[in-house]
Amino acid sequence: MIAEIVTGLAAAASISGVTLKMLLSRSRASRVEVEKYIKFLAGKKVLTAPFEQEVLPAVIKSLENIKHETEAARLRIGDDLVDIVFLNLVLKLSEELMLLYEIDDSDPKRNMKLFRSIQEIRARFARAIALLSTAFKIDLAGSRLVPLVTDMNFRAKRG
């Protein structure tokens, strides 16, 4: 059931113009390397922890680590389409890290700024994980990433 939901979400997702259809038809990336990267992300609490557990210095350190590993994985994988997805993730991380570094402890809007940055990052990573896991047939069942992918990609429409 999770695979069907993630596939449906991935079919509607796009990152920097890269779609599921493009990844399925043209990507030559190593499934093993993409899976290693997704497993790495599953261990990052900043992508999955409840907001009230987030602490600014730890968030920054974790996001810097994710950025470093994303850049390294991009070089290891060496596929043009996956490269675009990973570069998009690195760019989003860089943008949000700059905002996080500027947060002043005395700012009354500190928590809102932190929350907004974390949500922006989670939304971008949720789309990327949905695309990559579907394109490379990586089963997310049982992964800590499932709630991230389903919650951040799904927007209910009411009539």
pLDDT tens digits along 77-117: 999 999 999 999 999 999 999 999 999 989 899 999 999 99
* Rg of the chain in Å (alpha carbons): 16
Quick check: 5 and 116 in contact, CB under 8 A?
no
DSSP code for 49: S
Quick check: 131 and 10 in contact, CB under 8 A?
yes
pLDDT over 50 (residue 159): no
| Strands of the chain, DSSP E | 14-15, 18-19
Token pair for 130? 């949905």
Q: Which residues pair with 21 in a beta bridge?
A: none
Q: List the domain boundaries for the chain.
A: 2-153
Torsion of CA 123, 127, 133, 135, to 10 degrees: -170
Name the region of 125 (left: φ>0; alpha: ψ -120 to 50; beta: rest): alpha
88 or 1: which leads in pLDDT: 88
Residue written as tokens 């089963």?
139
Averaged pLDDT for residues 15-21: 87
pTM of the entire predicted model: 0.89
- H helix or E strand, kind and range, residue 74: helix 56-77
Say which residues have a Cβ less than 8 Å from residue 156's Cβ, sequence separation at least 6: none
